[in-house]
Structure 1
Amino acid sequence: MKEQTSYPKDKIKILFLENISDKAVERFKAAGYSDVTKLSGALKEDDLVKAIKDVHLLGIRSKTQITPKVLASAQKLQAIGCFCIGTNQVDLEEARHKGITVFNAPYSNTRSVAELVIGSSIMLIRKILDKNKAAHEGTWFKDSHGSYELRGKTLGIIGYGNIGTQLSILAEAFGMKVLFYDVQTKLPLGNAAPVKTLKDLVSKADIVSLHVPETAETEKLVDEKLLKQFKKGSILINYARGHCVDIDALVKYLKSEHLSGAAIDVFPVEPEKIGNPFSSPLQGLPNVLLTPHIGGSTEEAQANIGEDVSKKLFEYLENGVTDGSLTVPALALRPHPNAHRILHIHNNKPGVLSAINAELSKNNINILGQYLSTNDTIGYVVLDIDKMLSDKAFQLLKNVKETIKVRKVY
């Protein structure tokens, strides 16, 4: 029945940008989708507007900006897969209004980031950067002054989410005491303890690690006022978002030695491509570890992300499953035997479901299964019907008032 009713797989256009893992490409090609394009870099807005016109599925990472102008051109777009944790590069509200499902990978690279924080902490608290530089320059700088163990030190975690909790577990395994601050009430893992204010955390922590999203509230979260309250000789690690730290203020407190070191992986302005020039006021400062936004960039993490997001895209395309969606309400359902499936995305207004059922009933189309989920603005209905899917039935659903998008699955 799928072969008779599904949209031909060779007509489905899939575009992956920013060198997304081959795992994603392999999944679709193995299932018979032949029109899969993978590009190594991001596309600027005007180029993406041209490229996306006939695309049904789009895969991106953090550099590609999905603006209202891009979405206006994406007339056939069904879903966007963000092969990363964040989704601030996508205008989610506009995608929601257009019935475009957006997925991400909130868990796949948490271990990679957490491990790098621990590794960076050891490098900084032991002042390995200075000793490494001296050794490369031919100086034997064998000295224990100012070098410490992680054991017994206090780690302060700002943002106790997926990465923060993973880091908490690793830090305790090293014998560290863990404090955390989060705007939401979170259940502590192990012996970690919450604090009530940022001041409480930074004044007690030997190492402070940021793990917060990019929002208006987190912009310059670590500013001069907060840096002044840091424990003298402490270390700051930012593997979250570049806008969270006032870089100029951080430079000031590093130069005054109020902070003994920093590890920064994300920056307010970052180069668009590999090999492009990069500059920061932090360059050249001692005991400062700078990395090019690689917190989650391990082979394992990229493979996991490729597997996770491509599976979500695949299940939505093949079965209408929206588990993990950030725009369309979540529904997970098994294929219904001997049935044909239609997806209906509509504005969440009273009477839409009644109108759908009335139209199908008037035309003698029996419903074998019906699934509805809603959020504040969008309603999502999956219909399994026992009649051959006809152009008439499809058109009836398209003409229901408040309809945003209708799609035949099989």
Structure 2
Amino acid sequence: MRAVVVIKSMQDNQYFAERANAIFDEVVYLDNRPNQEELGEVLTNFDVVIIGAREKITSELLANHNVRTKVIGSLSVGFDHLDLNALREVGIEVVNSPTANVRSVAEHIIAFMLCLVKKLKRGDQVVRSGGGRSDLAGLPIEINGKTLGLVGYGNIGSLVGKMAKSLGMNVIATRASRDAGRDEVAQFMSLQDLAASSDIVSLSIPLTNSTRRIVDRAFLAQMRPSAFLINTSRAGVVDENEVLAALEGGRLAGYAGDYDDANGRLLNHPSCVFTPHVAGLTVESDARLDNELIDRLADLASRN
């Protein structure tokens, strides 16, 4: 089997490179990430294509090329850059790295939470402008005893719950398959009840048709004016215009997002904090992503 890796730096990971050489007959590392047309050509020439979240594979791309590829290895946790139905229809299997960055994202959520409640962004701005504590516009708060609402309770959400509980927080959660009962960490409830009961809401869900703008005007209306909202999913799971309106109307205390294409007015709001889609990217998780992906590709090869 011929394999191509579109992220050249992956060849510097010795574990990945050695396993890839052992699995495939030939491994090619591209010098540059392909554009959409170049990606189509890649799909016509290689059996296995290893990509990142930047590469978009659509039904149109597949229809316009004589695709040879049988396996896509995606260096990602999510699949929103891939048309899974179209890939399935042409017989292409997709392999990803589902757990490699779980701890990195969970820690980022905790960091966002502390940044918001401790007014770290505002505090930094005050000091740089020569101000003092009276310029903070209200005191920070403690998270001990506060309620964290987790929308999504998979690998990331459940780990955030454990971390939050160790910090003295009450944890509530909702997920597609469960909105009642409890486990050792969280009490489960409906999305609406969670919105109304949380001091901080954290979103850890994939972007799908059913989750697009799950945080809308009605959801925000249920939240407490003193509550904070954290989004390490995708921008599309919230209605940014409604989030901005809630912030400007005093109906939401703060918002944090891990994406780099935010609404301009939201981006510049003093109660918002953003990072450029790096929640899952750390020194440690970077290596785990590569290694988990090649391990799962090796497992697939051994079964075929």
Q: Is the CA contact (8 Å cut-off) linking 1:251 and 1:281 kept in structure 2?
A: yes
- The structure with the larger Rg is 1
Which runs of structure 2 are paired with 1:1-400 in the superposition (5 Å)? 12-17=2-7, 22-23=12-13, 24-29=16-21, 34-39=26-31, 41=33, 43-72=34-63, 73=65, 75-141=67-133, 145-185=138-178, 188-195=182-189, 197-266=190-259, 270=261, 280-317=264-301, 319=302, 321=303, 343=304
- Structure 1 position 138, deviation (Å): 2.6
Q: Give ranges in structure 2 of 5+ residues lacking alignment.
A: none
Q: Is the CA contact (8 Å cut-off) linking 2:49 and 2:73 kept in structure 1?
A: yes
Q: Is the CA contact (8 Å cut-off) linking 1:247 and 1:281 kept in structure 2?
A: no
Higher normalized helix content (fraction of residues):
2
Distance 1:285 1:76, change over 3 A: same
Q: Matched residue of 1:80: which SS? A: strand
Paired letter, 1:243: G
Distance 1:216 1:257, change over 3 A: same
Q: Is the CA contact (8 Å cut-off) linking 1:209 and 1:237 kept in structure 2?
A: yes
Distance in 2 (alpha carbons) for counterparts of 1:85 and 1:284: 29
Q: Matched residue of 2:44: which SS? A: coil
User: What does the per-residue CA deviation read over 1:120-158, in whole Å, with 9 as the maximum and x for residues that have no partner?
Assistant: 111110111101111122323366933111111100001
Q: Give ranges in structure 1 of 5+ residues lacking alignment.
A: 1-6, 271-277, 322-342, 344-410
User: What does the per-residue CA deviation read over 1:183-208, in whole Å, with 9 as the maximum and x for residues that have no partner?
Assistant: 2028844231011x222111111100
Paired letter, 2:101: N
Distance in 2 (alpha carbons) for counterparts of 1:84 and 1:160: 19
Distance 1:279 1:185, change over 3 A: closer
Distance in 2 (alpha carbons) for counterparts of 1:152 and 1:263: 21
- Structure 1 position 50, deviation (Å): 2.2
Q: Is the CA contact (8 Å cut-off) linking 2:162 and 2:185 kept in structure 1?
A: no
Distance in 2 (alpha carbons) for counterparts of 1:148 and 1:209: 17
Q: Matched residue of 1:249: which SS? A: helix
Distance 1:18 1:226, change over 3 A: farther
Q: Matched residue of 1:228: which SS? A: helix
Distance in 2 (alpha carbons) for counterparts of 1:181 and 1:254: 24
Q: Is the CA contact (8 Å cut-off) linking 2:11 and 2:29 kept in structure 1?
A: no
Distance 1:263 1:101, change over 3 A: same
Distance 1:15 1:157, change over 3 A: same
Residue 372 of structure 1 corresponds to: none
User: What does the per-residue CA deviation read over 1:35-85, in whole Å, with 9 as the maximum and x for residues that have no partner?
Assistant: 3214554x3322211233211211122221112343353533121111111
Q: Matched residue of 2:289: which SS? A: helix
- Scaled by the length of structure 1, the TM-score of the pair is 0.67
Distance 1:173 1:35, change over 3 A: same
Identity %: 28
Paired letter, 2:298: F
Paired letter, 2:177: Q
- Structure 1 position 93, deviation (Å): 2.2
Distance in 1 (alpha carbons) for counterparts of 2:10 and 2:237: 26
- Structure 1 position 29, deviation (Å): 3.7
Q: Matched residue of 2:267: which SS? A: coil
- Scaled by the length of structure 2, the TM-score of the pair is 0.89
User: What does the per-residue CA deviation read over 1:303-343, in whole Å, with 9 as the maximum and x for residues that have no partner?
Assistant: 111101112223334x2x3xxxxxxxxxxxxxxxxxxxxx5
Distance in 2 (alpha carbons) for counterparts of 1:28 and 1:66: 22
Query: Cα RMSD (Å) of the superposition?
Result: 2.4
Distance in 2 (alpha carbons) for counterparts of 1:144 and 1:285: 14
Q: Is the CA contact (8 Å cut-off) linking 1:49 and 1:69 kept in structure 2?
A: no
